[in-house]
Amino acid sequence: MAGTGVLQCPMDTSGWADALPAATPTPAPWFAPWQPTIVAVRQRLAAGEALHAALDAEGRARGAPVGFVPQQDLPAGQAYEDYIFKSKRVPVRAGLHDFFNGICWLGLPGVKARMNALQAAEIAARGVGATRGPIRDALTVLDENGAFLYAPEPLWDALAARAWSVLFGALRPLWAQTQLLVFGHAALEKLVRPYKSITVHVWRVRSPWSDLRALEAQVVPELLPERLAAKPFAPLPVLGVPLWWPANADPGFYDDPAVFRPARARPASG
């Protein structure tokens, strides 16, 4: 598997851009679906544009539903998601976290806009309190650490049960029939410097997709408050995916209960 590579960006004095994925013919599998968008924004950064300006220019070229502005444009006291929904502008701080958030907005704008609308509706109905509530919690999980997976039924059942020895052992050949997109921008940020325990929260997609637009067409109609409230995610230590990390070719890679945790025992009824 190819390494992530780095982009040398000497005009960026903060140094964060030095860690950006390089434009290689064989990008790391978690970056591969995003590669055209990453490269386009990289080029603008290399030309000297600030991150918010680079994302904004690329968004305008693509007809994105939002623009991108510096973080200081967010009014004091206004909730971030509420500001995006009302202004159609995304505040941006220079750094990897907001870089990948912008990449996801450019790559799956319909998914991000739907999630933002649901966040704003929850804020309008319930305000911003000490707790987000189940719907906003689920949206945050998906936004920060989510992934979309199409998989054959036996593979999904094993994942949902956290039956790791089955998932990555007996069923290992079935991974060739899957599609997995890491969507959470915090997860993508972590994967710039991969480590074994990085875990994504998987949202099941029912059919394979040909490109990001086709994936979006499946996901957007299923982003419903009632489904989100049920938190329909399955945890997946992403470096365990076959062919995504060389070390997992050794079956002993999975003998690590701190990462590949067993399912929680259900309380006894009585």
Q: What is the pLDDT of residues 189-239, one digit of tens each?
A: 999 999 999 999 999 999 999 999 999 999 999 999 999 999 899 999 999
What is the pLDDT of the chain when averaged over all its residues? 91
Residue 10 pLDDT class (50, 70, 90 cuts)? very low
Query: Is residue 202 one of the residues assigned to a domain?
Result: yes
Whether 218 contacts 209, CB under 8 Å:
yes
Mean pLDDT to the nearest integer, 239-268: 90
* Whether 182 contacts 244, CB under 8 Å: no
Domain range spanning residue 173?
16-254
Of 270 and 65, which is predicted with more confidence? 65
What's the pLDDT at 4? 31
Structural domain contains residue 197 = yes
Evaluate whether residue 175 is within a structural domain.
yes
pLDDT in tens, 108-142: 999 999 999 999 999 999 887 667 789 999 999 99
Query: Residue 132: what pLDDT?
Result: 78
What is residue 5's predicted lDDT score, i.e. its pLDDT? 32
* 153 or 4, higher pLDDT: 153
- pLDDT value of residue 7: 32
Whether 95 is in a domain gets the answer yes
Task: Identify whether 223 is part of a domain.
Answer: yes
Q: Within 10 A of 137 (CB to CB), how many other CB atoms are there?
A: 15
- What does the alpha-carbon distance between residue 129 and residue 127 come to, in Å, rounded to a whole number? 6
Number of domains in the chain: 1
Residue 48: count other Cβ atoms within 10 Å of its Cβ: 11
- Whether the CB-CB separation of 227 and 135 falls below 8 Å is answered with no
Residue 269: inside a domain: no
Question: Tens digit of pLDDT for each residue in 84-113?
Answer: 999 999 999 999 999 999 999 999 999 999
As a whole number, mean pLDDT of residues 157-185 equals 97
Q: Is residue 219 part of a domain?
A: yes
Q: Does 139 map to a domain?
A: yes
Give the Cα separation of 259 and 148 in Å (integer). Answer: 20
DSSP state of 29: T
pLDDT given for residue 269 in this prediction: 45
